[in-house]
Structure 1
């Protein structure tokens, strides 16, 4: 067996694999013996089929299979042993490859087109200045988060007079043109609604300061701006009928319910951060602010890496790629798409490929490795962040472990977690190697940079 690589230019090469009979015959013979032992052919006992018949029946397919296995292994081994930095997979050469005939040939020559990664150097230095944005945690953010915690400990209370955001329950009755209860008209007992969600301010105002036992007249169609789904839910009719229902209705208030947020007390402190971790409102707010700030770090690091990417792409400049070969690979990977898809998306794919190659160099230069514990910890941090969105900040480790292990059962989840670990470690390393231009920014202005 002989494997050789001939460079066509700086970014493409021709890989040639020559196989002789001695390279594959032993494996072919062994495979045919296995077939003979297992073959069940009428007229012969199992394992007693003549080898000549086995070769006639299976010889060609076994030869093709063993040659292809040997070919694949030898190509992979050559690329690995010689550290050939290829892009994509080797593709059969379309011009010089001679036809293969397993019926008559004993020696085979296979030619592959190889796309080589361009040679370049990507590195950062202290002279490189990169913006690093620290997102301001405002008192309003803290207030909103504290409010979310107290609302989870809130309760509903019955009250005598309506205020904004209260919930009303009562008898809803359709009226005729004279304002009397319509005979055979729609009536809904125990109808529930929240006037605060009405679209029309004039209709909403009808319920201001309403009291239990008051009878109020309003127009549901006007109140909800003819929204069929809202009207159907309130009037208990189908959407088609609701869309045509423009009558006035009376509403006799039977019950007014108000949500009252819970008190900010030690019970909430312990629920959020664990027993005894904070003991005063001041400590609680400071801790909440710290948590929000930590959640923003990942966003800041993400923007930092985007800016590093832009800087390095400009430093590296336009790289040379084997365009024809890469487009061929792209077509093979997107066989359900037409030629226009390749032409429309090729430049973007080259941009992403360039960054991928740059990032590979940075990861190698910084000796960044991903261990199993890194993946597990990232899964736990992801889970912790998801719980934090619902205000659950002191989730027991056992629960985090269980959720994390479920994530690790999915291949796509593992790939995503590995990428996040790499980017987290890379951002941490690069922040120490460049000059950071620290900038404070509001969350609103930070988000505008991604619009």
Structure 2
């Protein structure tokens, strides 16, 4: 067997495979022996079918399978051994049935789309803007108020406030506005509603300022845009029945629960920042500011990545792409792509393909490697953020470790984590290699910059 490569241009090549009978004959004999051991043919015991009959019935198929297997392995092996960087997969030049009656030796050809050479430069001569968001006292105080509310106490209230929970009986009304008393009437004795979360603010306003023993007529359907799950929970009925409940209800208020913000004391400081991270209000506010800056830094990095992509694609995007070979590969491997729409589909994928090639070259220059510890640390960060959403800011490390293992065990989620970790390491490395043109901006200015990306 002989395998040779003919380059047709800088990014395209033809791989030629010549195979003779002696190359595939041993594999054919092996396949026929396997068939003979397992074939069930009427009139013969299993494993005792004459070799001539096996050859007659299965010889062509075994020969075809053996040739295809050998040629495929030869193509893959040549690409691997010669370290060819290939886009997509090899595309057969001519697909037709083998003429085994008249031929013993065969020639195969495969089109290869080669990765173009990209001479990316990453040094201090490369200037990329980097926007840092100014954290104002107003932003710090607003975030502090949110923490105080999160860690505040729920206490009985005299009147319904914007953040109040309202308890009481919820009774279905008829068309005349009277409480229904028939057997099918919906009556929730121990009901609870949270007007602050109502989708329809006009419905929430009906509860504003109401007191215990007051009655409020409202429409549960409007409070949640008819969401069956929310209606089912609010009214204590099945989701199937909830889908048809669109009328008014009356709520007789029996209890009002309001949130009183936590005091600015050591307990709050520890809950927000960790044990003894701050011992007075000034240290606490400084810690809150640092938290905001850390969170906003992720936004800065997001815009930085977009600016890097813009700079790199503008400078290196004019690369030579093996378009025709890639189009043939797309048609051969995608049911929804054919000769009529392949040009359009290829143009859609071209920008992302070019960026991926540039990014891979950047990763090579930066010598990016992803270790299992990198994935574990990233998964722990995700777990920590999830706990923080529920106000749990001091989760033990062993608990985070256990959650990280569960995240990484998800076979569907793991590849995405690998990509995210790789991107994070890459752009951190790019930050260190290029010149950052830092500019301090307000939050509103930053939002405008991000919207115009």
TM-score class normalised by the smaller sequence: 0.7 to 0.9
Matched, 1:4 2:4: yes
Report which stretch shifted further, 28-37 or 103-112: 28-37
Inter-CA distance 55–276: structure 2 relative to 1 (3 Å threshold): farther
1:368 alignment partner, SS class: coil
Residue 107 (structure 1) aligned with residue 109 (structure 2): no
User: 2:201 aligns to what?
Assistant: 199
Counterpart for residue 405 of structure 1: 405
1:195 offset after TM fit, Å? 6.2
Partner of 2:289: 289
Report the alpha carbon displacement of residue 346 of structure 1 after superposing the two structures with TM.
2.1
Question: In 2 relative to 1, CA 193–331 (structure 1 residues): closer, same or farther, beyond 3 Å?
Answer: same
Equivalent residue number for residue 72 of structure 1: 72
Query: Matches of 2:115 and 2:224 in 1, distance apart?
Result: 62
What is the CA distance between 1:268 and its match in structure 2? Answer: 4.2
**Deviation readout 1:315-373 (Å, 9 max, x if unpaired):** 22422223222222223343135666533332231111111111122111222122222
- Give the match for residue 91 of structure 1: 91
TM-score, L = length of structure 2: 0.81
SS of equivalent to 1:72: helix
SS in structure 1 of the partner of residue 433 of structure 2: coil
Aligned residues: 439
| Partner in structure 2 of residue 437 of structure 1 | 437
Aligned to 2:357: 357
Q: Please give the secondary structure, in 1, of the residue aligned with 2:89.
A: strand
Distance 1:139 1:344, change over 3 A: farther
From the superposition, tell whether residues 238 and 130 of structure 1 become closer, same or farther in structure 2 (CA, over 3 Å): closer
Give 1:314's aligned residue: 314
Q: Is the 8 A contact 1:221 1:231 kept in 2?
A: no
Judged with a 3 Å threshold, the aligned counterparts in structure 2 of structure 1 residues 239 and 284 are, in CA distance, closer, same or farther, namely same
When residues 328 and 152 of structure 1 are mapped into structure 2, their CA distance, relative to the original with a 3 A threshold, is same
2:164 corresponds to which residue?
A: 166
Q: Deviations over 1:23-45 (max 9, x none)?
A: 22222222323333344444444
* 2:370 alignment partner in structure 1: 370
Q: For 1:47-62, list aligned pairs within 5 A.
A: 47-62=47-62
By how many angstroms is 1:102 displaced?
3.4
Query: Is this contact kept in 1: 2:217–2:251, CA < 8 A?
Result: no
Deviation at residue 416 of structure 1 after TM alignment: 1.5
What corresponds to 1:117 in structure 2? 115
Q: Extract unaligned runs of 5+ from structure 1.
A: none
Name the structure 2 match of 1:262: 262
Aligned to 2:124: 126
Change (3 A) 1:304 1:31: same
Q: Which moved more, 1:288-297 or 1:361-370?
A: 288-297
Q: Which residue of 2 aligns with 1:396?
A: 396
Q: Secondary structure at the match of 2:413?
A: helix
2:201 is paired with a residue of what secondary structure?
A: coil
Cα deviation 1:281-333 (Å, max 9, x = unaligned): 43333333323323333332232222122112222242222322222222334
TM-score (norm 1): 0.81
Q: Any conservation in 2 of the 1:169–1:253 contact (CA below 8 Å)?
A: yes
Q: Is the 8 A contact 2:221 2:231 kept in 1?
A: no
Kept in 1, the 8 Å contact 2:166–2:255? The answer is yes
